[in-house]
């Protein structure tokens, strides 16, 4: 087809929304075209920017009609910023698109059809929900840039207000910008690997307490006391200032070493009736309100009576483990990040929960060891990173023959792949619950119940 070349302008009818939030349509020859900021039922004139053998990517030139689900984005920098992907889609449309994303992954990748996939659990508020901000820092033309990366690049879109962050995190970013400019702290240049400040991270606790983490490319941070003094003057409820050291030339945000500059090592947050100490490097859900709904669903799927032994793999600061321990006989929580386990142990003590044991290590190695030591889990819960579980973990879990499994996932694609493996290992996917943990973005959290097949 002559029109299918880079630079050509073609008409495309959008049929669905892709996993990245882009509209998906086809040309007359069947070639799939991905078009950002477009919606189903819309027809557009599109300039093709990339043409491959099996797909093309284009940018809208003219929208010939509007979807009934189209809405005006709240954020003025939305067209350029890569932080959100779905502000142009009504919230009801976002919820349905995320459910469809899960269904598509299960059918196309996992070859699992006809499953019960419930409607996506909506957020109480689709705005101002993030309790954690982590923005890169760079030097612009005569000023310091702090914000999200632009779509498809590492150019920073300078951000003063982010509508999905809690207001306290906007204050953190503004204060950090003022301090960097006033003390002339050199921003990091990732191309030349020079400079000091790589990222600004802020955390907001349940009571409004604030933690600030300065991620540096150097072990030394000049004028520490002045930095702390200025931040304390500018940020109400500041309780912790820390330096995280990330010297490697890569895109990993946090390094292994963290230094307390002032205040407390952790910030206190809560989910439901439980309280949690969260350190700089610990994983903790960025949407506490939705996390409670997710964990309640995991509890429902675990169907505990008080007699069960439970393994919670990839347990982070112990959030799901402690929820489960309220109804289980014994819970083993496994996490590779040591500071998270330290937090989890403290969280168990503070919540007076004694029937949980937290283990530092790679789940791929720890679960086989527990199995060799005679541990047999009645219920296994996994909440892995985006890459999903290793096949070793899945096979070892299946060897334990738990009656039920709960799989919590932030990536429908890796979830679908792993569910297909578990199907072969004798487990049946019973039902799936998408949860909107990240409104305005294309990301979706999923909670899945599996039972041992007869």
Active site residue 447: no
Share of the chain residues as helix, strand and coil, in percent rounded to the nearest 5: 25, 35, 40
Residue among 75, 81, 315, 410 flagged as catalytic: 410
411 vs 415: CA distance, rounded Å:
6
Shortest CA distance to 435 belongs to which of 443, 444, 426, 427? 444
Handedness of CA 329, 289, 71, 90 (dihedral sign): positive
Distance between CA atoms of residues 219 and 259, nearest Å: 10
- Which residues, other chains included, contact 47 with Cβ-Cβ below 8 Å and sequence gap of 6+? 7, 8, 9, 58, 59, 61
Strand order in the sheet with 445-452: 356-360, 330-335, 309-313, 379-382, 404-409, 445-452, 427-435
CB contact set of 21 (below 8 Å; sequence gap of 6+): 36, 85, 86, 441, 442
Q: How many Cα atoms are found within 13 Å in the side-chain-facing hemisphere of 176?
A: 37
Q: 333 CB contacts (<8 Å, ≥6 apart)?
A: 312, 315, 318, 321, 341, 344, 356, 357, 358, 359
What amino acid positions are annotated as catalytic residues? Answer: 410
């Amino acid at each position: 087809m002559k029109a299918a070349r880079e630079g050509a302008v073609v008409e495309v009818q959008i049929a669905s929304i892709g996993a990245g939030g882009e509209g998906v349509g086809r040309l007359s020859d069947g070639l799939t075209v991905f078009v950002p900021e477009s919606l189903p039922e819309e027809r557009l004139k599109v300039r093709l920017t990339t043409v491959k053998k099996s797909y093309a990517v284009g940018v809208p030139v003219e929208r010939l009609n509007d979807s009934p689900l189209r809405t005006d984005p709240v954020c003025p920098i939305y067209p350029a910023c890569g932080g959100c992907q779905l502000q142009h889609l009504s919230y009801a449309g976002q919820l349905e698109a995320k459910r469809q994303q899960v269904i598509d992954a299960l059918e196309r990748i996992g070859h699992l059809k006809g499953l019960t996939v419930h409607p996506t659990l909506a957020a109480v508020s689709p705005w101002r929900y993030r309790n954690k901000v982590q923005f890169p820092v760079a030097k612009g033309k005569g000023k310091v840039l702090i914000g999200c990366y632009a779509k498809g690049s590492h150019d920073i879109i300078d951000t003063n207000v982010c509508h999905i962050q809690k207001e306290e995190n906007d204050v953190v970013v503004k204060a950090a910008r003022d301090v960097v400019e006033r003390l002339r702290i050199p921003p990091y240049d990732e191309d030349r690997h020079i400079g000091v400040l790589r990222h600004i991270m802020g955390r907001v606790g349940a009571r409004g307490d604030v933690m600030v983490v300065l991620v540096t490319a150097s072990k030394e941070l000049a004028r520490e006391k002045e930095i702390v003094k200025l931040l304390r003057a500018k940020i109400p409820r500041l309780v912790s200032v820390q330096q995280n050291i990330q010297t490697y030339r890569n895109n990993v945000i946090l390094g292994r070493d963290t230094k307390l500059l002032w205040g407390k090592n952790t910030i206190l947050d809560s989910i439901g009736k439980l309280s949690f100490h969260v350190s700089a490097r610990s994983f903790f859900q960025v949407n506490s309100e939705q996390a409670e709904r997710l964990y309640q669903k995991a509890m429902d799927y675990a169907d505990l009576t008080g007699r069960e032994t439970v393994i919670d793999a990839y347990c982070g600061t112990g959030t799901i483990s402690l929820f489960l321990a309220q109804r289980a006989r014994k819970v083993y929580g496994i996490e590779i990040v040591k500071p998270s386990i330290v937090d989890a142990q403290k969280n168990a003590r503070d919540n007076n929960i004694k029937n949980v044991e937290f283990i530092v290590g790679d789940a791929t190695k720890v679960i086989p060891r527990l199995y060799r030591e005679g541990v047999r889990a009645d219920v296994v819960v996994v909440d892995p990173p985006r890459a999903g579980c290793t096949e070793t973990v899945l096979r070892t879990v299946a060897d334990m023959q738990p009656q039920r499994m709960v799989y919590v996932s932030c990536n429908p694609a890796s979830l679908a792949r792993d569910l297909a493996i578990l199907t072969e290992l004798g487990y049946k996917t019973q039902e799936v619950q998408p949860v909107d943990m990240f409104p305005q973005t294309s990301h979706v959290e999923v909670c899945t119940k599996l039972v041992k097949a007869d």
